[in-house]
Amino acid sequence: MQQVNEIDTLIKLLAKIPGLGPRSARRAALYLISNSDQILQPLSQAMQMAWQNVKNCQFCGNLDVQDPCYICSDPRRDETIICVVEGVSDLWALERTASYQGRYHILGGVLSPLDGRGPEELNIDVLVKRASDSKVTEVVLATSATVDGKTTGHYITDCLTNCSVSISELAQGIPLGGELDFMDEGTLIAALKDRRVT
Ligand SMILES: [Zn+2]
């Protein structure tokens, strides 16, 4: 079957989306094409706009259409506390709890010797710079409860030894191996509230 055309390209690209394999990608492509005016056209426009306008915040690494992002530029947010997370989805998870009023710092992953991801690939230098600011008094480590997440937490703690900040981590309640994005909001609120100084 000769099918190297726009449809084939669409299927191939959709299949790269996490959670979609080739089969789901074919179904999605067919759905999009069958609903061209209602879904495909507005979706392609929304994607174009996202591609043009969404950027990383220079301070925390969050994604937004403005830089600094809406959290870093919000004067009501507590600038004395920085919560360190692996990715934007973790920030979203914590924001959904509406119980954290500080700022964030996105690492862009965790240290992973097996995947060859070292400290230089993570957004750690900027964190140390931010934590050196005299206004900052606490850094909350909210990396996931995996071996790599914990290793990353210890590494960051070492990097922050010369900063006069207290370092805390999310309380137990986050199950071992747990990623924030999969936690229910009640668990996250409790983990934030009962965070302990390391
Ligand atoms: Zn920001």
Q: What is the pLDDT of residues 13-61, one digit of tens each?
A: 999 999 999 999 999 999 999 999 999 999 999 999 999 999 999 999 9
CA of 66 to the centre of ligand 1 (A): 9
How far, in Å, is the centroid of ligand 1 from the Cα of 106? 9
Please tell me the distance between residue 137's alpha carbon and the centre of ligand 1 in angstroms.
Answer: 18
Tens-digit pLDDT profile for residues 163-193? 999 999 887 655 655 677 777 787 888 888 8
| Ligand 1 centroid, distance to 28 Cα (angstroms) | 33
The pTM score is: 0.83
Domains 6-53 and 63-197 share a fold: no
- Residue 30 Cα to ligand 1 middle (Å): 38
For ligand 1, the distance from its centroid to the CA atom of residue 1, given in whole angstroms, is: 49
Q: What is the rounded CA–CA span in Å between residue 107 and residue 87?
A: 7
| Fold category of 63-197 in CATH | Dna Topoisomerase Vi A Subunit; Chain: A, domain 2 (3.40.1360)
Predicted confidence (pLDDT) per residue in 59-83, tens digit? 999 999 999 999 999 999 999 999 9
At which residue do the structure tokens 């992002």 appear? 69
What size, in residues, is the chain? 198
Would you list the domain boundaries of the chain? 6-53, 63-197
User: Hey, is 91 helix, strand or coil?
Assistant: helix
- Ligand 1 geometric centre to CA of 77 (Å): 11
Helices of type H across the chain:
6-14, 22-34, 41-53, 88-97, 124-131, 147-159, 185-193
CA 155, 156, 161 angle in degrees (round to 5)? 100
Distances in Å between the Cα of 36 and the Cα atoms of 33, 121, 152 are 5, 40, 45
C-alpha 6 to ligand 1 mean position (Å): 37
Res 86: pLDDT: 95
pLDDT band (50, 70, 90) for residue 125: very high
> CATH classification of 6-53, choosing from 2.60.40.10, 1.10.8.420, 3.40.50.12280, 2.120.10.30?
1.10.8.420
189 or 137, which is more confident?
Answer: 137
